[in-house]
Structure 1
Amino acid sequence: MRLSFSSLALATALLVSTPAFADNGAAPAADTAAPAEAAAPAEAPQLILAISVDQFSADLFAQYREHFSKGFARLLDGAVFPSGYQSHAATETCPGHSTLLTGVHPARTGIIANDWYVPGISRPDKEVYCVEDESNPKSTSDEPVVSPKHLKAPTLGDLMKKANPAIINAAVSAKDRAAVMMSGHDTDAVYWFDDKGFTTFEDRKITPAVEAENAALSKLVDAGAGPLPVPGYCSAADRPVKVGDFTVGTYRFPQTAGDYKAYAKGPRLDAATGDLAIRMVDELGMGKDAVPDVLSVSFSQTDRVGHAFGHEGVEMCIQLAQLDATLGTLFDALDARGIDYAVVLTADHGGFDAPDRLDQQGYPAAKYISPTLTGDALAAAVSKETGIVAPQGKLLYGGGSSGDIYLGAGLTDDQRKTVTDALVAMLKANPEVDAVYTADELKSVPLPHGHPQDWTMIQRVRASFDPERSGDVLMMTKRGVVGIAHPGPGYVATHGSPWDYDRRVPIVFWRKGMTHEEQPAPVETVDIAPTLASLVGLKEPAGTWDGRCLDIDGSEADTCAR
């Protein structure tokens, strides 16, 4: 049986020092709350609901917010920060999710990309996935044994459980890396979608709630379904755009009976993710007492739709309308259970539209990256210029988009310098490349602070640079260069650049009783964890977070002064 705490006992339980961090001060006095007519709820919520919408850029949020009528619409009555930032340059799923509940940049989480290379390991492709245990002989970069081992920083759920083990820390997503990065190391339940249903870590078993969701999901997929409805406001986006020998812009997500692959690429999987989140609340007993629990839910399908069809077609319009309904269902379910919950909704990164459509919309400079910038092409060019051939494996790994390039194993120090110099010169001369940095340069740059929209390029790169895992050379492509060398069906647009269309994301907080505020100042996703920590009375020493607590009540009440 779980323990039930009074408000005072709850504050005491959360303010004790943890094994990882010392106490950082006493609890605020109970009589410091603002007057009742202006105050947000003074006690900790029973449930923290942390939501990530994968690839939900600030641009998409601004474009569609007037059309939201269900779940998103409720959140718009809370604290809205339309100019949030994933401040770093590595705007991918794993790094972005790693910042949300750790409160630190990827330079400190150690999650510098979705994948990185370790040229000296025995694995043929030298590639390591961000949430795998590569020491497990069954694990490969394509079929990983999922693990949180690479995450160097504790999440909010980790810290809360250290303060009070009665707290429940759980997560669900269609993507393993999203669920793992948001929940962390000390978890009660973590699930993600794998081929035909939701699954979990190798050493755990799925529970009856997951079995029930998988059975319901299987029934829906086996039955098939017609196209999804197109809201009236989507009409302007409903037109074909030619990409190579195929088109995007008119797809409506019909569900062929038994086609799990198509199901996994469309909006219906978000609905299943939300449904499983509700089942988890019931099965785990979340939000049932005064001990605040943490449920992380990452909705992945905006990202998958964005990659396959871009941002400005009818497909994205349908996707966001469906997600709005899914969020409404989730919130209604929590209301029906009488749970006092606080929500934060944000994204792991933004995204960019297909260059073919951007060209039609007055952005002719947008283009797909040249194949000459892929790792193999760069390696061949550097080898030809220097005469150096890799003694083991390839000369270079990585390339093909903004990010890390690794030198192969077995090179002498002189060879490494020669290859690095030639590579840097070659990249700097390329018209698609904006900036090039070596690892040695980045090591001497301090971690950035201040408003993220003012950061220089090297500061953005430094925020996601880890000397243990990052490449020997880091390449940043120019604005509008999409990191896809060969677009095809299912892959016409992407993210991963250091530019604001990939960095800027909305951050929205909501709790019943809050006073609405719209705050245009730039904030960061690393501000989320300290903000939520204040809501539950968790104190950590200075230096725990890269971010700061945000006052999320638009009245005289100060949610950071608890």
Structure 2
Amino acid sequence: MFRKVAAALLLASCALPAVAQPPAAAPQAAPATPPHLIVAISVDQFSADLFSEYRQYYTGGLKRLTEEGAVFPRGYQSHAATETCPGHSTILTGSHPSRTGIIANTWFDLKTGRTDKAVYCAEDETQPGTDSGNYVASPVHLKVPTLGGRMKAANPATRVVSVAGKDRAAIMMGGPTADQVWWLNGPEGYVSYRGIAVPPLVAKVNQAVVARLAQPNPGFELPPQCAAKDFAVSIGAGKTVGTGRFARAAGDFKAFRASPEQDAMTLVLAAGAIDSMQLGRQAQTDIISIGLSATDYIGHTYGTEGTESCIQVDRLDRELGAFFDKLDRDGIDYEVVLTADHGGHDLPERHRENAMPMDQRVDEALTPKALTEAVGAKTGLAGRKLIWGDGPAGDLYFDVTLNAKQRAAVEAETLKILRAHPQVQAAFTKAEIAAAPSPSGPPESWSLLQEARASFDPQRSGDVLLLLKPRITPIVDPTKGYVATHGSPWDYDRRVPILFWRKGMRHFEQPLGVETVDILPTLAAQIGLSVPAGEIDGRCLDLTAGDGDSCAGK
């Protein structure tokens, strides 16, 4: 069975035309009983804009979700730090990063005894001999339980599985009590943080990864809807993007990872896990979370508006369709939720060619290194590393060895420089953010300070939060790495789709703003799981179109 699934999904990822599907059967009413399997999917960097741009072209899994399910096209990762780890931490916990403790992909602990002061969100930095780039993966920093953890606490028979292209996606959605957690670690395939023996299923998938990688990929056909995207954009130093087809040489793992091939393989593993563990085939409800990471790698590497991203969305739609069809053939009663950990913004070079001449790259003067030099010169503290940070945006940390007078001078000068810079929208101090009340109400109406408060942890957040103006890309030089990114407090990074589907449910669409933290209480109501309101930030979304309320009395 697994070989058939792998073959089908890998075929879906090859450059072949879509196979015509038979007409859909007449819809049946959704069961009143809880689903036997929850399938929670996060498509990394799948912004609400990207979802809507190609919506008319969906023919596979995304078509099913958008035409038969409950559609919330204006979902929000409502916090300010719209990065992968914080976003994934909200999806199945019902909580903002201020409660999950996952404030960023990386934060800084300047009091740690290790040389590397950076802390990766999914590492255990207490392990000897490790650093933020060579770490022992762990969920130790996640402060709250996931949906799977709550389900297992209520019924120990529940099976909880998490698979993803990235460790932080798998770990933050699966949580510390998951039965199986796997992510793509490199050319050798998928690994787990648990250190358990590799089961036969994962060994087979890893063999498939190795075999697939050993073969070159000639590239994918360009779907008709992508033809208008097919023009090169120069980003300097002889480098262009915008016309790619994902052709790669044999053995090129980096190209494999930033292509539709990665998501296809992750879905192979997910389908195999459902089979091998018999998920959804017992009396209780099981849950599998699936982190599809290719859209993010592609967005960073090529931007979000070229042929590369267009092809990726088309392949994602097809691969999800094959995956759902497989679950249907197996007769599993499952419920799907699909969302994203954050959105994304295309590279400014293409925006400037397409009616957005105001798009810019960030000024190098806003990098922590440049700020340290400028502040040091003004305060008489030159030669010391005064300011730490992960880049020219987000949390900035002051040297902890400064005395009170020195620290006050560094903070004052830093704020003066930042608040006078034409690319800076706001610079909030730690005290200002801590004093702000936790946000509530429609996420589209939150102020920047409220968004910052939703990302704030008093032990992990920086001394100053730097927020750039809209359409300022926080990458100084695109020729030395990624060309586009995310992480801003603006809607193009905050807005994501949230889609629910179960066979027989009545379709409806709600265009008003909801949050990813609403997913956990919504799914909990579907399975009759009680979650105290004071333990989470989200609210239950009624998935019953018309009369009735799926949240009532649950």
> Normalising by structure 1, what TM-score?
0.91
Alignment-derived partner of residue 336 in structure 1: 329
Q: Is the 8 Å Cα contact of residues 57 and 501 (structure 1) preserved in structure 2?
A: yes
Superposition pairs for residues 541-556 of structure 1, below 5 Å? 541-556=532-547
CA offsets per residue over residues 401-447 of structure 1, 9 Å max, x none?
Answer: 33100011211122111111111111001111000111011111110
Give, as a single letter, the amino acid of the residue that structure 2 aligns with 1:337.
D
Deviation at 1:390, TM superposition (A): 6.9
Contact kept in structure 1, 2:467 and 2:489, CA below 8 Å: yes
Question: 1:383 and 1:210 mapped to 2: Cα distance?
Answer: 52
- 1:313 matched to 2:303? The reply is no
Task: Work out which of the residue numbers 210, 214, 221 in structure 1 matches 2:206.
Answer: 214
Structure 2 unaligned runs (5+)?
A: 1-26
Q: Which secondary structure does the structure 1 equivalent of 2:535 belong to?
A: coil
The answer for the alignment partner of 1:481 in structure 2 is 472
The Cα shift of 1:66 comes to: 0.7
Q: CA deviation at 1:180?
A: 0.4
| Deviation sequence 1:307-347 (CA, Å, 0-9, x none) | 01111100001111111111012111111211100000000
8 Å CA contact 2:28, 2:503 repeated in 1: no
Question: How far apart are 1:225 and its partner, in Å?
Answer: 2.0
Q: Which moved more, 1:136-145 or 1:83-92?
A: 136-145
User: Is it true that 1:502 corresponds to 2:493 in the alignment?
Assistant: yes
Q: Which moved more, 1:453-462 or 1:550-559?
A: 550-559
| Alignment pair present for 1:369 and 2:369 | no
Rounded Cα–Cα distance in structure 1 between residues aligned with 2:420 and 2:440: 31
Helix, strand or coil: the match of 1:82? strand
Alignment correspondent of 2:42: 52
- Which amino acid in structure 2 is aligned with residue 471 of structure 1? G
Contact 1:400 1:485 in 2 (8 A): no
Deviation readout 1:218-267 (Å, 9 max, x if unpaired): 11111222111110110000111111121101111113112222211211
Is the Cα contact below 8 Å between 1:390 and 1:410 reproduced in 2? Answer: no
Aligned length: 524
The percent of aligned pairs where both chains have the same amino acid is: 51
Structure 2 residue aligned with 1:272, among 237, 253, 265?
A: 265
For 1:499-538, list aligned pairs within 5 A. 499-538=490-529
Contact residue 81 and residue 523 of structure 1 kept, 8 A: yes
Alpha-carbon offset, residue 39 of structure 1: 6.1
Alignment of 1:426-445 (within 5 A): 426-445=417-436
Partner of 2:233: 241
* Matching residue within 103, 107, 124 for 2:115: 124
Aligned-residue offset at 1:365: 1.2
Query: Which AA in structure 2 matches 1:151?
Result: L
1:255 aligns with 2:248: yes
Report deviation, 1:141: 0.5
CA distance change for structure 1 residues 418 and 488 in 2, over 3 Å: closer, same or farther?
A: same
Partner of 2:23: none
Aligned twin of 1:42: 32
Q: CA deviation at 1:85?
A: 0.4
Q: Does 1:73 align with 2:50?
A: no
Question: Could you say if the C-alpha distance between residues 147 and 154 of structure 1 is closer, same or farther in structure 2, counting changes exceeding 3 Å?
Answer: same
CA distances 1:492-539 after superposition (whole Å, capped 9, x unpaired): 110000000000000000000100001011100000000000011001
Partner of 1:232: 224
- The 1-side partners of 2:349 and 2:374 are apart by 29
- Are residues 544 and 267 of structure 1, via their aligned partners in 2, closer, same or farther at CA, if it must alter by over 3 Å? same
- From 151, 158, 182, the equivalent of 1:160 is 151
Which residue of structure 1 aligns with residue 348 of structure 2?
355
Q: Quick one: distance in 2 between partners of 1:38 and 1:553? A: 14
SS in 1 for 2:533: coil
- Residue 75 of structure 1 aligns to which amino acid in structure 2? L
TM-score by length of 2: 0.93
Two-structure CA RMSD over aligned residues (Å) = 1.3
What does 1:370-389 correspond to in 2, within 5 Å? 370-389=363-382
* Rounded Cα–Cα distance in structure 1 between residues aligned with 2:437 and 2:393: 21
Instruction: Provide the rounded CA distance (Å) in 2 between the counterparts of 1:138 and 1:71.
Output: 44
